[in-house]
C-alpha cells in the first residue's frame, strides 16, 4: 500500500482517473493492472479489483493513506518531515531520528526531507501535528517583531 500511495501521490493523473466517474470500470482496472501488476502483493491486487468492481475506485487513494497510517500507528512508525536550508547530512539525519525516537518512543522513524533556502539556516521539524521551528528565518522574524514593539 505504501508503494501504491507513493505512485498515486506522485502522479495526480492516476488519482484523477480513479476518481472520475466517467472513466469505465474496466479501463480503471486495466490501468491499475498495467501499473501495479507484479509490483504489489496478490492480495493487494485483488483488493484493487474488488474496489474497482464495486464502483468505489474513488476511495482507493484515501483508503491506502488510512491503511498506511493505521499500520504505522500499530508498528510504532513515525514520519518526521524535516525542512532545512540545505540537504541534511547523514549525521543530521541520524540525530533527527534519535531525537524523534527518544521524544515520542517510536520504534522506527521515516524521514521526509525538503530543502527550502528561504530558511537561511537551521531546520523545521514536523511530526504529526507538532512542529519545532529552529530556522534562522524564524528567529529573525521573532527579533523583528520584538524590535517593532
Sheet hosting strand 123-127, strand order edge to edge: 108-115, 77-84, 123-127, 130-133
Closest listed residue to residue 19, CA positions, set 51, 54, 59:
59
Q: Output the pLDDT for position 149.
A: 75
CB–CB of 123/82 below 8 Å?
Answer: yes
pLDDT at position 73 is 95
Q: Cα 21 vs. chain centroid, distance in angstroms? A: 26
Cell of 4: 501504491
DSSP letter, residue 125: E
Contact of 44 with 7, CB cutoff 8 Å: no
List the end-to-end C-alpha distance of the chain, in Å, as a whole number.
51
- Please give the grid coordinates belonging to residue 36: 501495479
- Segments in the chain below pLDDT 50: none
Instruction: For Cα atoms 50, 30, 47, give the angle at the middle one, nearest 5 degrees.
Output: 20
Contact 80, 109 (CB under 8 A): yes
Contact between residue 77 and residue 106 where contact means Cβ atoms under 8 Å apart: yes
| Three-class SS state of 115 | strand
Domain spans of the chain, in order of start: 2-71, 76-148
pLDDT of residue 116: 96
Amino acid at each position: 500500500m505504501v508503494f501504491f500511495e507513493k505512485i498515486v501521490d506522485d502522479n495526480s493523473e492516476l488519482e484523477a482517473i480513479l476518481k472520475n466517474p466517467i472513466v469505465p470500470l474496466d479501463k480503471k482496472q486495466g490501468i491499475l493492472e498495467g501499473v501495479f501488476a507484479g509490483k504489489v502483493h496478490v492480495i493487494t491486487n485483488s483488493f484493487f479489483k474488488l474496489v474497482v468492481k464495486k464502483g468505489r475506485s474513488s476511495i482507493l487513494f484515501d483508503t491506502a493513506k488510512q491503511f498506511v497510517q493505521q499500520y504505522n500507528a500499530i508498528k510504532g512508525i513515525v514520519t518526521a518531515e524535516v525542512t532545512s536550508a540545505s540537504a541534511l547530512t547523514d549525521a543530521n539525519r541520524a540525530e533527527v531520528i534519535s531525537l524523534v525516537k527518544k521524544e515520542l518512543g517510536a520504534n522506527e522513524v521515516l524521514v521526509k526531507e525538503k530543502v527550502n533556502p528561504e530558511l537561511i539556516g537551521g531546520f523545521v521539524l514536523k511530526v504529526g501535528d507538532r512542529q519545532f521551528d529552529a530556522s534562522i528565518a524564524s528567529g529573525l522574524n521573532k527579533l523583528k517583531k520584538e524590535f517593532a514593539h
